[in-house]
């Protein structure tokens, strides 16, 4: 844990919080936090700063928060992810949250095993825990919303309807439609090992990157993505498993963002 995360409703009026769960265990046994010591802390979706341990009886740990920094800014990348094997799903979600991606759309695809959709790992509680662990690891107070789409075409039609190409710029969805219909990004990338290298693509920010299932995207899906304004890109030689591919491509995109926008801080 690189950032102790607390919920807004856990904060008491005097800016203290009482922890009795895994966070207190972690602070005691891994960080070795004792009374008087301060750790980095933040409020989910809110400000960050420090938390000083003011009391600890071994069961209840009380900390006083000083929230001096602005809320974390998500990295300007939206992740579309074909649902991977349940065994790696939560680790992948955790990594994406550690990077601080803006949002995650999980989707069915031709080569996604249909049993994955019924996995308990897709339950909001399981996803929520992975997102929290990732944010704590990445030291961000941003928790990306995760939406699950049982049909790829429904996701594409919802967010990138036919006839609206990326060159036309981001579309503002009508107000009040909720997270599912948020504005779509101008640059849309499709991660595919056989495609031209990512550094050749013309990028604008924020952007969307779509990562395929373990067996890859099928040609019909690639064609449909392209039709909806997605540009296939590769990371170079190695073909990586989904879990590694997500981290590698997010790392490459962050570097490209820094190179094109020096001083961006991400």
Query: Which residues contact ligand SAM (rule: CB under 6 A)?
Result: 191-193, 211-212, 214-217, 234-236, 238-242, 245
Residue with tokens 């895994």: 22
CA distances from 60 to 34, 63, 81, 88, 233 (A): 12, 10, 39, 33, 50
Nearer to ligand SAM, 4 or 160 (CB): 160
Minimum CB separation of residue 152 from ligand SAM in Å reads 13
* Sign of torsion over alpha carbons 157, 159, 161, 167: negative
| Buried-state track 8-41, b at ≥16 Cβ within 10 A, e below 16 | eeeeeeeebbebeeebbebbbeeeebeeeeebeb
CB atoms within 10 A of CB 83: 24
Minimum CB separation of residue 90 from ligand SAM in Å reads 17
Minimum CB separation of residue 201 from ligand SAM in Å reads 12
Within 8 A by CB and 6+ apart from 95, the residues are: 134, 243, 246, 247, 250
Within 8 A by CB and 6+ apart from 87, the residues are: none
Nearer to ligand SAM, 5 or 189 (CB): 189
Nearer to ligand SAM, 60 or 241 (CB): 241
d(CA 96, CA 244): 11
Nearer to ligand SAM, 134 or 230 (CB): 230
Minimum CB separation of residue 234 from ligand SAM in Å reads 4
Minimum CB separation of residue 182 from ligand SAM in Å reads 23
Nearer to ligand SAM, 128 or 236 (CB): 236
Q: Which residue is nearest to ligand SAM (CB)?
A: 216
Minimum CB separation of residue 110 from ligand SAM in Å reads 11
d(CA 250, CA 70): 24
Nearer to ligand SAM, 142 or 188 (CB): 188
């Amino acid at each position: 844990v690189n950032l102790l995360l607390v919920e807004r409703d856990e904060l008491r009026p005097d800016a203290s919080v009482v922890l009795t769960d895994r966070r207190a265990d972690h602070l005691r046994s891994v960080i070795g936090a004792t009374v008087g010591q301060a750790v980095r802390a933040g409020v989910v979706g809110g400000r960050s700063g420090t938390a000083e341990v003011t009391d600890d009886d071994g069961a209840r740990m009380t900390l006083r928060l000083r929230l001096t920094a602005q809320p974390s800014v998500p990295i300007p990348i939206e992740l579309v992810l074909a649902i991977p094997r349940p065994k790696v799903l939560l680790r992948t979600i955790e990594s994406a949250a550690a990077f601080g991606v803006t949002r995650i759309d999980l989707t069915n695809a031709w080569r996604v095993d249909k049993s994955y959709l019924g996995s308990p790992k897709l339950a909001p509680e399981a996803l929520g825990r992975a997102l929290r662990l990732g944010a704590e690891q990445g030291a961000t107070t941003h928790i990306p919303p995760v939406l699950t789409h049982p049909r790829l075409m429904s996701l594409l039609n919802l967010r990138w309807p036919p006839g609206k190409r990326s060159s036309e710029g981001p579309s503002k969805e009508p107000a009040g439609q909720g997270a599912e219909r948020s504005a779509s990004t101008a640059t849309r990338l499709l991660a595919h090992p056989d495609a031209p290298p990512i550094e050749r693509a013309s990028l604008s920010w924020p952007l969307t990157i779509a990562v395929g299932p373990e067996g890859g995207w099928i040609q019909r899906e690639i064609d449909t993505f392209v039709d909806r304004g997605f540009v296939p890109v590769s990371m170079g030689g190695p073909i990586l498993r989904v879990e590694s591919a997500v981290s590698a491509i997010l790392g490459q995109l962050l570097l490209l963002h820094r190179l094109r926008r020096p001083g961006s801080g991400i």
